[in-house]
C-alpha cells in the first residue's frame, strides 16, 4: 500500500518579483523610518515576510503600526499589509497577489516522519516557514472560525485527516456532531466512534458522550484522573476522544429553535473542556457565524486556542481573537492563530497559511484509511455500563 502522504499533490513556490518588492520596501523604510534596520526577508505561499530591528523601541506603538501598514499598501500596490512587533523586531507581512498554493503534502510528509509522542495534527505553515503542528497535550481544545469560502472546512478536514493518518483507531476516536452534514465522508472512517447529522441525533449522541466521559473518569480514578499518569504506570494506552462540532452555530446558540439540544451541547462542552486535558478528551468546534450569541464568553473561556480565517466584519474578528484583523485576511486559508506560547503561556497571535486539499484528495485519503484499518460505519452504540471498582 502506498504511503498516506503520497495521496496529496505537491506545492511549488514561485519567488518571481521578490527582489524588486524587497528593494522597494527597504528603500522606503530606510527613508521614512531610519531607526529600522533590515534583517531578513522570506517568501512563503501566501505572504512575503520581512523583519526589521527596532533601534528605538519607544517609537513603535499601535498607531504607528497602523499608519505604516496603510502606507505600505500604497507604496507596494497591495492590500491588507500587516505590521506587528515582537520585542526589538518589527515584522511586515505583505499578502501576495501572485500567491502560490500550499498543498497538504508539504507538511504531512514531515509530520508523518515525526516520532509518535503526544497526539497532534498538522494544519499549515506560519509566515516564517515553520509548520503549524498542534500538540493536543499542550493545546487540548480548538476553535476554528471563518466565513463562507474562507477555507474553514478544508482546515477542519486537514486537522482530522492528519490525526487519522498518523494514529490508529486504537489511539484516537472521533465523535462527530454536524447537522449541516459537511463531515459525512468521515462517518465510515475506522476512527469514527459515532456520528450524528441531525439535531435529534445530536441530542442522543450527547448522552452517549456523557457516558463515555463518566466511564473515562472511572478508568482514571486511581491514576490522579490523568491519562498520561495512567500510561506511565500501566504501560497501556487509552484512546483519545475527539468531540467535533462542525457548523456548530445552530446547536450552541442559546436562542436556537431547539434550546434543549443547545443546553445539552453546552453542558458537554463545558464538562469536556474543563477536564479534557488530563482525561484525553478534546473538543474541536468549527463556526461559520462566530457572533457573540454563538461563541460567547462561556465557550471562549474554555477554548482559548483559536484559528480564525477571514470573517465578515470586525465584530466577528473580535469574538474569536479579541481584536480586529481577521476581517482583512485574504481568504483561501489565510488565517490568524491565537494560542498560548508553550514557554511562558502568554497569548500570541500568529499569521498562518492553512494547507489546501481537494475533495478528490479527501476521498482518496479516507478510502486509504478504510482499506488500511477496515471500513466501519458509524452506528449508534450501546450505552456503556459504568465500570465497577475492584
CA gyration radius, the chain: 22
Q: Does residue 225 share a domain with residue 252?
A: yes
Confidence (pLDDT) at 296: 81
Q: Does residue 110 share a domain with residue 91?
A: no
Q: Does residue 123 share a domain with residue 78?
A: no
Q: What are the residues facing 282 on neighbouring strands?
A: 242
Q: Does residue 339 share a domain with residue 190?
A: yes
Q: Does residue 346 share a domain with residue 301?
A: yes
Residue 32, domain member (yes or no): yes
Of 42, 63, 95, the last residue of a domain is 95
Residue 160, domain member (yes or no): yes
Q: Which domain holds residue 78?
A: 18-95
C-alpha cell at 29: 523604510
User: How far is residue 299's CA from residue 250's CA, in Å, rounded to a whole number?
Assistant: 15
Q: Does residue 75 share a domain with residue 177?
A: no
| Among 158, 152, 182, CA closest to 290 | 152
Residue 385, domain member (yes or no): no
Residue 82, domain member (yes or no): yes
Alpha helices in the chain (DSSP H): 18-32, 62-75, 105-113, 152-166, 199-219, 227-234, 249-252, 259-279, 297-302, 314-321, 359-373
Q: Average pLDDT of each block of 10 consecutive residues along the chain (390 residues)?
A: 88 82 94 95 88 92 93 91 90 87 92 90 91 93 93 95 96 94 92 92 91 95 95 94 88 70 86 90 92 82 91 93 89 89 59 93 95 67 42
Q: Does residue 56 share a domain with residue 152?
A: no
Residue 7, domain member (yes or no): no
Confidence (pLDDT) at 173: 97
Q: Does residue 316 share a domain with residue 250?
A: yes
Residue 387, domain member (yes or no): no
- According to DSSP, residue 354 is labeled E
Confidence (pLDDT) at 247: 80
Residue 71, domain member (yes or no): yes
Confidence (pLDDT) at 249: 77
Q: Does residue 114 share a domain with residue 30?
A: no
Residue 26's domain is classified under what CATH number? 3.30.980.40
Residue 311, domain member (yes or no): yes
Q: Does residue 277 share a domain with residue 168?
A: yes
Looking at the 3D structure of the chain, how many domains does it have? 2
- pTM for this model (two decimals): 0.86
Residues in CB range of 343: below 8 A, 6 or more apart: none
Q: Does residue 37 share a domain with residue 180?
A: no
Confidence (pLDDT) at 257: 65
Q: Does residue 219 share a domain with residue 159?
A: yes
Confidence (pLDDT) at 341: 60
Amino acid at each position: 500500500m502506498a504511503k498516506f502522504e503520497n495521496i496529496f499533490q505537491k506545492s511549488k513556490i514561485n519567488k518571481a518579483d521578490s527582489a524588486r518588492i524587497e528593494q522597494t520596501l527597504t528603500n522606503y523604510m530606510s527613508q521614512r523610518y531610519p531607526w529600522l534596520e533590515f534583517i531578513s526577508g522570506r517568501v512563503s505561499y501566501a505572504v512575503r515576510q520581512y523583519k526589521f530591528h527596532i533601534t528605538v523601541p519607544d517609537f513603535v506603538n499601535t498607531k504607528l503600526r497602523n499608519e505604516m501598514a496603510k502606507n505600505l499598501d500604497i507604496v507596494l500596490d497591495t492590500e491588507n499589509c500587516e505590521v506587528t512587533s515582537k520585542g526589538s523586531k518589527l515584522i511586515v507581512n505583505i499578502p501576495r497577489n501572485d500567491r502560490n498554493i500550499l498543498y497538504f503534502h508539504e507538511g504531512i510528509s514531515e509530520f508523518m516522519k515525526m516520532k509518535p509522542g503526544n497526539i497532534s495534527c498538522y494544519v499549515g505553515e506560519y509566515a516564517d516557514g515553520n509548520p503549524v503542528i498542534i500538540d493536543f497535550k499542550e493545546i487540548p481544545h480548538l476553535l476554528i472560525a471563518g466565513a463562507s469560502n474562507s477555507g474553514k472546512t478544508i482546515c477542519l478536514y486537514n486537522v482530522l485527516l492528519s490525526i487519522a493518518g498518523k494514529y490508529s483507531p486504537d489511539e484516537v476516536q472521533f465523535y462527530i456532531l454536524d447537522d449541516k452534514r459537511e463531515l459525512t465522508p468521515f462517518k465510515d472512517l475506522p476512527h469514527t466512534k459515532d456520528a450524528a447529522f441531525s439535531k435529534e441525533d445530536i441530542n442522543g449522541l450527547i448522552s452517549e458522550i456523557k457516558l463515555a466521559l463518566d466511564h473515562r473518569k472511572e478508568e482514571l480514578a486511581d491514576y490522579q484522573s490523568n491519562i498520561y499518569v495512567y500510561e506511565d504506570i500501566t504501560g497501556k494506552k487509552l484512546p483519545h476522544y475527539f468531540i467535533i462540532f462542525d457548523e456548530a452555530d445552530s446547536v450552541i446558540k442559546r436562542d436556537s429553535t431547539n434550546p434543549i439540544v443547545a443546553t445539552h451541547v453546552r453542558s458537554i462542552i463545558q464538562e469536556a473542556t474543563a477536564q479534557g486535558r488530563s482525561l484525553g478528551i478534546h473538543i474541536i468546534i468549527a463556526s461559520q457565524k462566530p457572533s457573540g450569541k454563538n461563541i460567547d464568553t462561556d465557550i471562549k473561556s474554555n477554548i482559548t486556542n483559536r484559528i480564525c480565517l477571514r470573517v465578515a466584519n470586525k465584530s466577528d474578528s473580535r469574538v474569536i481573537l479579541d481584536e480586529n484583523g481577521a476581517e482583512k485576511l485574504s481568504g483561501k486559508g489565510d488565517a490568524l492563530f491565537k494560542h498560548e506560547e508553550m514557554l511562558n503561556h502568554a497569548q500570541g497571535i500568529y499569521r498562518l497559511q492553512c494547507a489546501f486539499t481537494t475533495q478528490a484528495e479527501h476521498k482518496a485519503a479516507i478510502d486509504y484509511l478504510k482499506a488500511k484499518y477496515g471500513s466501519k460505519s458509524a452506528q449508534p452504540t450501546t450505552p456503556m455500563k459504568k465500570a465497577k471498582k475492584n
